[in-house]
Amino acid sequence: MTEQGYAKPIRLLHSLLALCMLTQLAVGELMDVPEVEKVPAATGISWITPAYAHEGHHHAIPGMPVEETLGFEVHQFLGLTVAALILIRLMLAMTSLPGANWRELVPWASAAGRKQLGEEIKTQIAGWKQGKLAPPEDGEAVARCVHGLILLAGTVIGITGTILFFGWSTTAPQTDIIELVASTHEVIVGGLEALLGAHVLAVVMHQHQGHNIIARIKPTA
Ligand code: HEM
Task: State how far the Cα of 44 lies from the Cα of 56, in Å rounded to an integer.
Answer: 22
Sign, CA torsion 12/108/197/126: negative
Atom of ligand 1 lying closest to residue 151 CA: 35
**Helix-helix angle 141-167:70-92, to 10 degrees:** 130
Task: State how far the Cα of 180 lies from the Cα of 160, in Å rounded to an integer.
Answer: 10
Mean confidence (pLDDT) of the chain: 91
Tell me how far CA of residue 145 lies from CA of 107, 111, 174, 198, in angstroms: 7, 14, 36, 12
**Residue 103: enclosing H or E segment and its boundaries?**
helix 102-105
pLDDT band, residue 65 (cuts 50/70/90): confident
Amino acid at 91: M
Task: State how far the Cα of 7 lies from the Cα of 104, in Å rounded to an integer.
Answer: 13
Q: What is the pLDDT of residue 38?
A: 80
pLDDT tens per residue across span 169-197: 999 999 999 999 999 999 999 999 999 99
Mean pLDDT of 100-116: 96
Q: Does residue 201 carry a pLDDT above 90?
A: yes
Q: What is the pLDDT of residue 207?
A: 97
* pTM metric for this prediction: 0.89
Percent of the chain with pLDDT over 90: 82
Tell me how far CA of residue 14 lies from CA of 21, 60, 163, in angstroms: 10, 39, 25
Mean pLDDT of 133-156: 96
Helix, strand, coil shares, percent, the chain, to 5: 65, 0, 35
**Residue 88: enclosing H or E segment and its boundaries?**
helix 70-92
Residue 1 CB-density burial (10 A; 0-12 exposed, 13-18 middle, 19+ buried) = middle
Cα of 156 vs centre of ligand 1, distance in Å, is 18
Q: What is the pLDDT of residue 62?
A: 77
> Ligand 1 pocket by C-beta < 6 Å: which residues?
6, 10, 14, 17-18, 21-22, 89, 99, 136, 140, 143, 147, 150-151, 154, 196, 199-200, 203, 213-214, 216-217
Q: Does residue 56 carry a pLDDT above 90?
A: no
